[in-house]
């Protein structure tokens, strides 16, 4: 029966399912709210109240620590006071210090006593039993007479043993460890004094501090509740400070909850506590649970009335919500159908709801796929064009070399040395341009190609140009993409030097630093007119695109005008590792035209030919 109803529910539309679910949830919440709301609201108020006061107690603890730390520092400063330690360690027979030492120590301790108004008494005793006591209230001197006359052994008291066990760490007591004056208005801070030079024990010191000074930690923490109060308890549960001392049953419950004997959610009081890290005292806030319960009853009644009203409005609201939720789903379904039907661009606008965000992601996915397909198509076209161009430049290199070889020897036989030198430069340029079909070329070969190219240009322009190459020899073995530098030299000739009357110079410089190769090509031509026009050229655009595709977006080429006149081009590329070079050179071992030309078919270098060369000026 239940299974059949579940099946019928699954057959309902999403809109009806949402509508039915909202109505059922609203009714269920309303029916259960009257049973649990009172307890939940009461516990929530208690937890919130406890948490709020836990933060307040931490602030109070910080204030308390700051105030007491100053007193602790005064005790510690005695050890760095050479005047005090010298007089303190130089005791005599009996329980009193010698007169000179007594005067010095009294002066030092009175300085502390009267600079800190919260310190009422100070007692210091060295390891030999010499005692010095000073107080803001001279009446208290009578309480330490038993120590001075020897009727009571000060060094055998319990707090002395505690200080020995603490090994120099300060100990906080909830009361006066020196004497009982019946007032219970101070607490003691005791410390064993150990020399900072040789770690030898010097004696002991006790500060009696007024408990009224602890009230500063709670100065602005009075609540609006009648039973709300703050107090400080030591680790044994004794009261150190309380503005109004809690009742016996309240104190007993606080002690039980701090010790873990009573769960926090039980009892007649709500207790929040925080342990001060300096004193290890518990700073506590307590309030009667019945006082907090009054507010929870008001909240429960208001919530019950509100939930009852929700039942009346649930049908109408559920209908609106279900339609609002399912509307974007309908639009998303329609969009998916259009894409499946062949619509490749999505223009539908979705809202910021969860369904709307799904729709926007679907929209971005479809549109991004279109863009990626377009980019991939363009990349493939560019790759095919580059391959076609490379194949065109590598057609039948043996035929080309044989032809140039024949021209070279004909010129030599006929004594046409300039023609032979020209043909040799042309052959060298072609040989290095083809580069056996490899994508990478050593720096030394790229520079040889540039020299051959400039020799040809000087034949054309009657030795007008000078080539200056300043590339360190250690860079000759580095590899770079072929045809990176030579097109820049060609640009300098055609667009810079050729339109300029008279001679011209091209400088090529290289450097290697931090794994980066930098090449600079300068000329003293007519100068750059429009940087955008340079980028529009096929050669520069080709260089920029090849650098981006092979080396990455971080590298490239930049143009600028030289102050002396002319144009500067700077190429930055990374140094290729041996593995990168070998991997690239192995990618196209059978590229047409990539086979090495047999030595017998290469034009030999001329040695000591008469009138060899055309006098091109090259400076290395």
Phi, psi of 481 (to 5 degrees): -60, 140
Q: Using alpha carbons only, give the angle 471, 473, 476 rounded to the nearest 5 degrees.
A: 85
- Three-state SS annotation for 182-220: CCCCEEEEEEEEECCCCCCEEEEEEEEEEHHHHHHHHCC
**359-375 pLDDT tens trace:** 777 777 777 777 777 67
Rounded-to-integer distance, Cα 280 and Cα 283, Å: 9
At residue 597, the pLDDT reads: 38
What's the mean pLDDT when you consider all of the chain?
79
Enumerate residues 6+ apart whose C-beta is below 8 A from 309: none
C-beta of residue 569 within 8 angstroms of C-beta of residue 558: yes
For residue 360, give Cα distances in angstroms to 351, 365, 367, 385, 612.
8, 8, 10, 37, 73
Ordered by start, the domain boundaries in the chain are 13-63+293-327, 415-619
Rounded mean pLDDT, 539-550: 86
Q: List the structure tokens of 254.
A: 């606080």
DSSP assignment string, 223-239: -S-TT-EEEEE-TTS-E
What would you report as the CA-atom Rg of the chain, rounded to the nearest whole angstrom? 48
Distance of CA 372 to the CA centre of its chain: 33
Closest to 93 in 3D by CA, of 131, 146, 143: 131
Q: Looking at per-residue confidence, does 265 or 330 come out higher?
A: 265
Lowest-confidence range among 71-85, 463-477, 580-594?
Answer: 580-594
Strand partners, 123: 133, 206
Q: Looking at per-residue confidence, does 21 or 132 come out higher?
A: 132
Closest to 187 in 3D by CA, of 213, 224, 221, 168: 213
Quick one: pLDDT band at residue 342, thresholds 50, 70, 90?
low
Q: What percent of the chain has pLDDT over 70?
A: 73
Closest to 207 in 3D by CA, of 250, 240, 178: 178
C-beta of residue 450 within 8 angstroms of C-beta of residue 489: yes
Indicate the CATH number for domain 415-619. Answer: 3.30.565.10
488 pLDDT above the threshold of 60: yes
Q: Looking at per-residue confidence, does 522 or 357 come out higher?
A: 522
Rounded mean pLDDT, 506-530: 92
Q: Looking at per-residue confidence, does 475 or 94 come out higher?
A: 475
Most confident of 38-52, 561-575, 588-602: 561-575
Strand partners, 126: 203
Q: List the structure tokens of 133.
A: 């006591």
Rounded-to-integer distance, Cα 405 and Cα 412, Å: 11
Rounded mean pLDDT, 400-421: 69
């Amino acid at each position: 029966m239940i299974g059949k109803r579940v099946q019928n529910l699954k057959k309902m539309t999403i809109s009806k399912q949402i509508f039915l679910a909202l109505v059922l949830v609203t009714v269920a919440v309303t029916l259960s709210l009257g049973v649990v709301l009172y307890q939940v609201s009461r516990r929530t108020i208690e937890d919130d109240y406890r948490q709020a006061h836990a933060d307040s107690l931490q602030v109070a603890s910080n204030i308390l620590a700051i105030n007491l730390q100053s007193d602790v520092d005064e005790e510690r400063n005695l050890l760095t006071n050479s005047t005090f330690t010298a007089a303190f360690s130089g005791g005599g027979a009996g329980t009193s210090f010698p007169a000179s030492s007594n005067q010095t120590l009294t002066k030092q301790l009175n300085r502390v006593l009267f600079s800190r108004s919260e310190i009422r008494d100070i007692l210091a005793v060295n390891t030999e039993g010499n005692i010095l006591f000073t107080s803001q209230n001279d009446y208290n001197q009578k309480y330490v007479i038993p120590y001075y006359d020897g009727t009571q052994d000060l060094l055998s008291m319990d707090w002395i043993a505690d200080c020995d066990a603490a090994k120099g760490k300060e100990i906080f007591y909830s009361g006066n460890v020196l004497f009982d004056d019946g007032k219970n208005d101070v607490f003691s801070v005791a410390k064993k004094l150990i020399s900072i030079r040789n770690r030898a024990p010097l004696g002991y010191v006790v500060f009696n501090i007024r408990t009224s000074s602890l009230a500063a930690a709670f100065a602005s923490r009075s609540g609006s509740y009648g039973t709300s109060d703050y107090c400080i308890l030591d680790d044994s549960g004794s009261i150190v400070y309380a503005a109004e001392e809690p009742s016996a049953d309240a104190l007993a419950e606080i002690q039980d909850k701090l010790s873990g004997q009573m769960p926090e959610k039980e009892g007649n009081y709500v207790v929040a506590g925080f342990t001060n890290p300096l004193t290890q005292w518990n700073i506590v806030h307590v309030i009667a649970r019945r006082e907090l319960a009054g507010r929870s009853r008001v909240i429960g009644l208001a919530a019950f009335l509100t939930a009852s009203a929700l039942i009346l409005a649930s049908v109408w609201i559920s209908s609106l919500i279900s339609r609002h939720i399912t509307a974007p789903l309908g639009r998303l379904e329609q969009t998916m159908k259009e894409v499946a039907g062949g619509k490749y661009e999505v223009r539908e606008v979705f809202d910021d709801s969860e369904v709307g965000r799904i729709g926007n992601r679907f929209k971005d996915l479809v549109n991004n796929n279109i863009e990626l397909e377009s980019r991939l198509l363009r990349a493939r076209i560019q790759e095919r064009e580059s391959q076609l161009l490379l194949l065109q430049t590598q057609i039948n290199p043996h035929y080309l070399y044989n032809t140039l070889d024949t021209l070279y020897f004909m010129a030599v036989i006929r004594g046409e040395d300039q023609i032979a030198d020209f043909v040799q430069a042309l052959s060298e340029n072609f040989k290095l341009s083809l580069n056996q079909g490899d994508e990478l070329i050593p720096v030394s070969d790229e520079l040889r190609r540039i020299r051959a190219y400039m020799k040809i240009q000087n034949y054309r322009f009657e030795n007008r140009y000078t080539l200056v190459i300043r590339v360190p020899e250690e860079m000759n073995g580095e590899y770079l993409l072929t045809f990176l530098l030579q097109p820049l030299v060609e640009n300098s000739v055609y667009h810079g030097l050729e339109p300029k009357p008279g001679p011209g110079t091209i400088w090529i410089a290289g450097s290697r630093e931090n794994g980066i190769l930098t090449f600079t090509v300068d000329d003293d031509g007519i100068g750059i007119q429009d940087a955008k026009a340079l980028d529009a050229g096929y050669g520069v655009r080709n260089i920029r695109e090849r650098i981006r595709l092979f080396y990455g977006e971080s590298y490239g080429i930049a143009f600028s005008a030289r102050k002396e006149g002319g144009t500067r081009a700077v190429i930055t590329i990374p140094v290729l590792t041996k593995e990168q070079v070998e991997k690239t050179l192995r990618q196209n071992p059978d590229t047409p035209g990539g086979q090495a030309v047999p030595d017998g078919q290469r034009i030999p270098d001329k040695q000591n030919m008469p009138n060899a060369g055309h006098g091109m000026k090259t400076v290395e």
